[in-house]
Amino acid sequence: MDFETFLDSLDRERRTYHLEIPSMGGDVIDARLYLPKEEGRYPGVLFGQGLITGNLLVAANALGRYVTRIGAAVLIPTYVGHREDRLCPDDAEHVVNAFQTLKGIDEVIPEHVGMLGFSYGGQIALTGAADPRIAADVRYVVSVGGPTDMESMMLFGLTDPGASKSARRIVHESLVESLRTEIRRREQLGTMEDALYRDFFLVDEMLETKSAYHVARMMGMLSSSMWKEMKKLSPLKRAESIEARVMLVHGKDDAIVPFEQAMWMHEALLAAGKETELIAAEGIGHIVYPTKPREAMDFVRNRLSGTFERIIEFMRR
């Protein structure tokens, strides 16, 4: 039995719907809505996936789908970053639209809508929670392994010997594609800046060196437009704007998103007087790989040591 079949066997009577969420620039975000069997009104959970595909994506969505079993409506969007396998600044807008869509569904209690995300999904959940259009409406955020600061993530992915190949690839693709997207947008609007063309040469040089000093120096030379885009995905810089209570769960052995990303976010939230909780998962990396039912259940039962239950309890408050 594969993982998808196993999940369906747990609750075959869950209701599912496909939604299309209009977003910026005429883009449409595909999403899947999961509802409990019985009609009624339920708390809402906006679930954000990580940048993974295939069987791992099915496993990552297990928690999002499972939440319907505790009496919640769950919306799982596929953002641009998921489609293009990169960190996408435009998704800072898309997550706001997805949250507002979930909040407006008839069977959702609008005062009880929160966000749960893994890796990239946690990053954009925190980003969305800082947006003034929805900040007051977000009940909670749970970020599991989510990046919080793009500048340090770029430096880590490009120069740290402990960074995984995945970390370097994601940083590479995110820099290059975000730059291309911004250039196309500016060219269409007739507001192109020569500095953005120069950014291409800087990015190429950054990708060719592993010297932290030289990468940091070149990062400082990037155009203000480029930094404006990248900082859209840096919730660390906007901790004071988050009104929701926040739980940060992060593996101490993470080689894709360093544990410090969660620690810094936790400290920034505390300094801003926000309600925050940090769970440091000992002996855990970034991705939970088991895709077979027995493996997955054993991992949750034996390795996570009650973390799953703490997340659910936090969401229920």
Write down the pLDDT at residue 257. 92
Which of 97-111, 123-137, 192-206 has the lowest average pLDDT? Answer: 192-206
d(CA 21, CA 102): 10
Average pLDDT for 8-19: 72
Contact call for residues 46 and 99 (beta carbons, < 8 A): yes
Q: What is the pLDDT of residues 159-197, one digit of tens each?
A: 888 888 888 888 888 888 877 877 777 777 777 777 777
Q: Token pair for residue 15?
A: 């209701």
- Share of residues in the chain with pLDDT > 90 (%): 43
Side chain identity at residue 140, one-letter code: Y
CB atoms within 10 A of CB 118: 27
Write down the pLDDT at residue 227. 81
d(CA 167, CA 3): 26
Q: Which of 90, 91, 23, 78 is nearest to 49 (CA)?
A: 78
Q: Angle 250-108-37 (CA atoms, 0-180°, nearest 5)?
A: 90
d(CA 233, CA 79): 14
Higher local confidence (pLDDT), 224 or 58 = 224
Model confidence at 276: pLDDT above 90 = yes
Q: Binning pLDDT at 50, 70 and 90, where does residue 1 land?
A: very low
Average pLDDT for 239-254: 95
Contact call for residues 18 and 78 (beta carbons, < 8 A): no
Model confidence at 2: pLDDT above 90 = no
d(CA 117, CA 135): 16
Q: Is 121 exposed, middle or buried (0-12, 13-18, 19+ CB in 10 A)?
A: buried
Model confidence at 7: pLDDT above 60 = no
Write down the pLDDT at residue 195. 76
pTM score, whole prediction: 0.86
d(CA 99, CA 25): 18
Side chain identity at residue 87, one-letter code: L
Higher local confidence (pLDDT), 53 or 198 = 198
CB atoms within 10 A of CB 172: 17
Model confidence at 120: pLDDT above 60 = yes
Write down the pLDDT at residue 303. 58
Average pLDDT for 266-273: 98
Phi/psi region, residue 306 (left: phi>0; alpha: psi -120 to 50; beta: rest), is left
Q: Binning pLDDT at 50, 70 and 90, where does residue 302 land?
A: low
d(CA 218, CA 47): 35
What is the pLDDT of the chain when averaged over all its residues? 84
Type and span of the H or E element at 19: strand 15-22
Contact call for residues 223 and 194 (beta carbons, < 8 A): no
Q: What is the pLDDT of residues 62-117, one digit of tens each?
A: 666 677 777 899 999 999 998 888 888 899 999 999 999 999 999 999 999 999 99
Write down the pLDDT at residue 114. 97
Which of 42-46, 174-178, 211-215, 244-248 has the lowest average pLDDT? Answer: 174-178
Q: Is 13 exposed, middle or buried (0-12, 13-18, 19+ CB in 10 A)?
A: exposed
Higher local confidence (pLDDT), 215 or 299 = 215
Model confidence at 310: pLDDT above 70 = yes
